[in-house]
C-alpha cells in the first residue's frame, strides 16, 4: 500500500455543504473516500481522452427480429475481436436481447466500435461504461 499524504483545502462554505450532502447521499464512508473516487474517475476520463489502454463495457439492447441485425452485430464483434474480452447475451423478452461486450484496448478503437454499433438499425439502446485499466486506478 502506498504512503498516505494529507492535504488541506480552502473551499466556500456552500461548496463544502453541497459536497457533504453528496457524500451522504452516495453513502461514502468519508469525504476522503469520495474525493479519491472522484479523482480516479477524472484520471480514467483523461486516459480515454488521451487514447490510452482502457477498459469498459458496451451494453446493447436490440430487437433480434430485425432482419440481419444478429449477423451485423456478430460481424462487428469479429472485426473488433482483438479488443473484446468477453460477451454476454441475455434474452429480455420474445423480441429483445441485451448484449454486454467487455472491452480492453485503445480508447479510439473502442469508441470506433461503439459508433458502428450505434449505426446499426434495430439497436434500441447503446451505452458505454468507461474505466481505465488497473494500473491507472492508484
pTM, 2 dp: 0.81
Nearest in space to 133 (alpha carbons), one of 60, 40, 59: 40
- Average pLDDT for 48-55: 90
Could you report the per-residue pLDDT of 85-133, keeping only the tens digit for each? Answer: 999 999 999 999 999 999 999 999 999 999 999 999 999 999 999 998 8
| Cα angle: 68, vertex 73, 79; to 5 degrees | 125
Task: Express each pLDDT in 7-49 by its tens digit.
Answer: 999 999 999 999 999 999 999 999 999 999 999 888 888 888 8
The answer to whether the beta carbons of residues 128 and 55 sit under 8 Å apart is no
Sheet of strand 84-91, all strands in order from the earlier edge strand to the far edge: 84-91, 96-106, 53-63, 123-132
Mean pLDDT across the chain: 93
Amino acid at each position: 500500500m502506498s504512503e498516505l499524504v494529507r492535504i488541506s483545502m480552502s473551499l466556500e462554505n456552500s461548496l463544502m455543504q453541497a459536497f457533504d450532502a453528496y457524500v451522504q447521499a452516495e453513502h461514502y464512508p468519508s469525504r476522503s473516500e469520495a474525493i479519491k473516487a472522484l479523482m480516479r474517475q477524472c484520471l480514467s476520463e483523461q486516459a480515454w481522452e488521451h487514447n490510452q489502454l482502457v477498459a469498459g463495457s458496451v451494453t446493447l439492447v436490440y430487437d433480434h427480429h430485425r432482419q440481419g441485425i444478429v449477423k451485423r452485430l456478430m460481424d462487428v464483434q469479429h472485426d473488433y475481436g482483438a479488443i473484446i474480452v468477453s460477451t454476454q447475451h441475455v434474452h429480455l423478452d420474445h423480441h429483445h436481447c441485451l448484449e454486454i461486450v467487455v472491452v480492453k484496448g485503445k480508447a479510439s478503437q473502442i469508441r470506433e466500435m461503439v459508433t458502428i454499433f450505434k449505426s446499426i438499425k434495430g439497436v434500441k439502446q447503446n451505452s458505454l461504461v468507461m474505466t481505465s485499466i488497473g494500473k491507472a486506478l492508484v
